[in-house]
Structure 1
């Protein structure tokens, strides 16, 4: 790549953008950026202006001369870009509120990337990411796409499987936080431990060894019951059963609580739904406070409050990935990428989340090997659910969505699940053009959203 790197960020008005800028500033000597284009949609115009001005202040406070461009024109942003990062949310936080509240109304878990909400977030996001890929084929065919738009694993799978775009890496902050926090639990520095991750985005496990090759996974597990376990801010902290972790001898992703302690996690989610509001409603308040901070003309650094947002370190992981590709650093990272045999329990051509060395040719996976019986079964069911969801997003087929709902472990199958699904279709009708005929049919049948907050949000958007 030539000197003077152009970065295009889709969803540039995100509250995470200051962290992205901080990461690029920190790595400028190895990643000489000349221009950054932040692009958003009309509905995000105000936030783009606020966060864009702050981003420029951050660069102006640094020793580096980098220009921030703000635009609603995606093609202008993508033209001749070297790297494209994606951090957009179709339907904004209002859509996430619906994803969480509508299932909760019926006593079902509502969550951004798991259960009914995760499926519908993918249905809204996949068609847009595929449009972006088609634009990239015309405007920046040599660029790398670094995705952290959720559900990150499914979005990355869609890019590879249906977009036919190989130069893509998906990211998540959960593995980053584990590798940052766990070493201290056993009195080690991060560079003294060797990590191996395997699974799917928000559904992985990992093992840990020291630099002498001794497995220390169980040592960390024991300390997890005594110390801060490094959960992201958006996951309710209820312990895994010690006996289960002792049997698997691996550390589950924090999101596995939704599956291993489903009863308790659902109880907590429903309590929030009935009192302080769902996680999305809480995040909306946090975002309002963040953007008030970002308006301060004296603020030229990432505020500490951003750590409360729930996705801390996503952006820094993106910066490290980009720098590693640009400088061929072969940095060890945890990424969503094509399996290629790293996890033999899944097909070689599907996307998995694994430890990999990232350099000029992208990710070179570290082989994990076959998973134990229980984890292998979970993994294969979840990948099947993901593939059905992605296929439905592309084809607009209602029956395929129903299949994805039926096999999702967090959705009790039956008439209530189908009712939740139908209401989510109605609630998100503006963002599901591939399902236009289905939605018209449901509306003709008189399907309406029963949760009053979700109904009110829908009216506002229309």
Structure 2
């Protein structure tokens, strides 16, 4: 089995390698290719990756290359974890929206649109090159904004599934608190990427006992602290929103906070500098503790599970993924991409049935889906007008003067990445 990781020079990669090493019986990789244009960075990451494999006696071969076509040739699956423009572009995404009184974040709002515009054309080019060398390869997308990027891939006819680590983070948290194995915890996880709620926490599978009321009653304060939302909000909702919902439920509060501290991109850039120095130490043969602060917790385990199922191995039958709606949420078009529990196998992902949603949730999901449709059109076809319309449609913006100002700033800060600008 051959896997390729595009963006393999990311400081995230040792998290992925750790999972491949620990779970080699679930996903028996014979060759792992790390592909990245940043050759110096790639060698640091690749060296640590080889040492992690060697430490546990993994027989797989790890190859590093800056040649995309050679790297993906013959791959059974290709994982995408790239960041077009790097942390410098992310820093811009998190700062210039604040000038218009809007949240600055890399996956939602104006910053999220900027990231989509930079990313979608690059990902589609990569996917076409994968298809030329191996049309049967699965593409697993961890590149944000996952929902929009996955929709672009699926609409172009690629064998693609989107992946996020929010659900597996909740699953692992509650498995530990309940004293059960993660595989025993089934989440009623519904929404769009970075716009999801946990409507149930079931023990034993989709039909198991829902212990979410108990979790909220006994651990509501801790959850509220983690999500930075009032406990009263969780009690009134009776569900657990992902932490990205705070951008919607407390937008103005978040904007004020962001204006008083360095961007997350600045923090991550410093963290990456430290991590790369560590990766260069020939004595290091495990992922360092600092990596946990970088983000992406449990990403490796989710990726192994998904790849194993898609390639016919021993992955879990039900996993939270991003895939076509196909009637699952009846208020959305079939070709919308949703994030839900799905049956995953060699033929891809088929969403499980979802109970009818209260308008409190279906309304926001519909609104953001409409934005994502406009965002994808802007990413595929370009043009100031399409950018403006996508921004005007976003529920975190929705005012023409803000949309005008954000459009100007987005284009000015991203000209080098926009072929049409």
- Report TM bin, short chain: over 0.9
Deviation track 1:186-244 (CA, whole Å, cap 9, x = no partner) reads 5655444432111100001122234474332222223343325695xxxxx422462x4
Which of 199, 218, 227 aligns to 2:222? It is 227
Deviation track 1:314-358 (CA, whole Å, cap 9, x = no partner) reads 233112211222234351211001112222221222211001122
User: In structure 2, what is the equivalent of residue 238 of structure 1?
Assistant: 228
Residues 1:84 and 2:78 aligned together: yes
User: In structure 2, what is the equivalent of residue 295 of structure 1?
Assistant: 280
User: In structure 2, what is the equivalent of residue 203 of structure 1?
Assistant: 195
Unaligned runs of 5+ in 2: none
Give the length in aligned residue pairs: 417
Alpha carbons of 1:64 and 1:182: their partners in 2 closer, same or farther (altered >3 Å)?
Answer: closer
Aligned 1:123-142 pairs, distance under 5 A: 123-142=117-136
RMSD, aligned α-carbons:
1.9
Aligned 1:373-452 pairs, distance under 5 A: 373-433=359-419, 435-436=420-421
Which of 196, 207, 214 aligns to 2:209? It is 214
User: In structure 2, what is the equivalent of residue 369 of structure 1?
Assistant: 355
Aligned 1:7-406 pairs, distance under 5 A: 7-41=3-37, 44-161=38-155, 163-165=156-158, 167-185=159-177, 189-206=181-198, 207-211=200-204, 213-227=208-222, 231=226, 237-240=227-230, 242=232, 244-272=233-261, 277-329=262-314, 331=316, 332-406=318-392
Larger deviation, residues 383-392 vs 361-370:
361-370
Q: Classify the secondary structure of the residue corresponding to 1:61.
A: helix
| C-alpha distance in 1 between matches for 2:185 and 2:65 | 43
| C-alpha distance in 1 between matches for 2:142 and 2:15 | 13
1:25 is displaced (CA, Å) by 1.4
Q: Classify the secondary structure of the residue corresponding to 1:227.
A: helix
Q: Classify the secondary structure of the residue corresponding to 1:399.
A: helix
Larger deviation, residues 152-161 vs 340-349:
340-349
Alpha carbons of 1:224 and 1:421: their partners in 2 closer, same or farther (altered >3 Å)?
Answer: farther
Larger deviation, residues 96-105 vs 336-345:
336-345
TM-score (norm: length of structure 2)? 0.94
User: In structure 2, what is the equivalent of residue 453 of structure 1?
Assistant: none
| C-alpha distance in 1 between matches for 2:391 and 2:113 | 8
| C-alpha distance in 2 between matches for 1:128 and 1:387 | 18
1:245 is displaced (CA, Å) by 3.7
TM-score (norm: length of structure 1)? 0.86
Deviation track 1:289-323 (CA, whole Å, cap 9, x = no partner) reads 11111111011111111110122222331122112
Do the aligned partners of 1:146 and 1:169 also contact (CA within 8 Å) in 2? Answer: yes
Alpha carbons of 1:223 and 1:151: their partners in 2 closer, same or farther (altered >3 Å)?
Answer: farther
Do the aligned partners of 2:224 and 2:230 also contact (CA within 8 Å) in 1? Answer: no
Unaligned runs of 5+ in 1: 232-236, 437-462
